[in-house]
A = this chain, B = another copy of it.
């Protein structure tokens, strides 16, 4: 028999993920800051709960998909939070992208209640969430991973158990480091080409054939060529994720000098008012740093 699944956080990622679980036959108890977001799921048979505590009291497995570390802390450990209602033997699966350190601390709090936790951040964006093709990076105990696996297989295509609690978040942070730094690399290459008379299309075509080839150049090609940076993945979220990577590096002792610089550039992008654009719009920062003053000097 399928578990009752509690689901907290019905945003651009959470809603389609919850819908996929519901369509796979799970009984759903859902909760979101904006109650209206639960409406379509409730029409299809889900129960709406008023608080995370109420979700926890009704479910064997609780999934959280929330924007940032403080949101997960509040939902799990805050007033009317999961910890107040959680059953012994229950499993919390946090699929948000948050701090590995906070993850480990929340897992310890759940353990005190006889419950357990997996961290299972995803990549693949809203399209992957809708299509059930996410990559899911899972940290936690093997028995918990096995228990959650059928749910992951509904929501994702590449599901990897990468280590103990927090390891999923560490892997996601590493992923965001590579994607963010690659975007910066491609941006600098394109600006170097631009100013040296080589069109962006040529740079992308030629570099794509060799060791320089990467998925950022493939997937962001149109955005980089047209300079229309509709998200996609918002730069402000990538900035948040690099903040997580840097905080984790500070805690674990990993030196991340290049990540630190790219984090600064994403910070500039936000302060320019471009934080809502796709992360590939980072090239606008490099272009602005390269622009020559045209008025009086």
Contact = CB atoms under 8 A, between A and B. Distances in A.
One complex includes copies of this chain to the number of 2
A73 B252 CA distance: 49
Contacts of A207: 171, 174-175, 178
A102 interface: no
A192 B256 contact: yes
Nearest to A292: B253
A74 interface: no
Contact of A170 (B163, B170, B196, B211): B196
Interface string A145-164: 00000000000001010111
Chain A: number of interface residues, binned into ranges:
35 or more
A210 B135 contact: yes
Interface in A171-199: 171, 173-175, 177-182, 184-186, 188-199
A223 to B, nearest CB: 13
Interface string A209-249: 11111111001000000000000000000000000010011
A211 B203 contact: no
A255 B174 CA distance: 26
A198 B214 contact: no
A212 B245 contact: no
B188 A171 contact: no
A212 B261 contact: no
Nearest to A189: B174
Contacts of A252: 192, 195-196
B188 A256 contact: yes
A69 B191 CA distance: 23
A263 to B, nearest CB: 11
A118 B285 CA distance: 33
Interface of A: 100, 123-124, 135, 137, 158, 160, 162-164, 166-167, 170-171, 173-175, 177-182, 184-186, 188-199, 202-203, 205-207, 209-216, 219, 245, 248-249, 252-259, 261-262, 265, 286, 289-290, 292
8 contacts: A123-B211, A166-B197, A167-B197, A174-B198, A177-B185, A188-B254, A192-B248, A192-B249
Q: List the 5 closest A-B pairs by CB distance, nearest first.
A: A170-B196, A181-B185, A255-B289, A214-B214, A174-B189
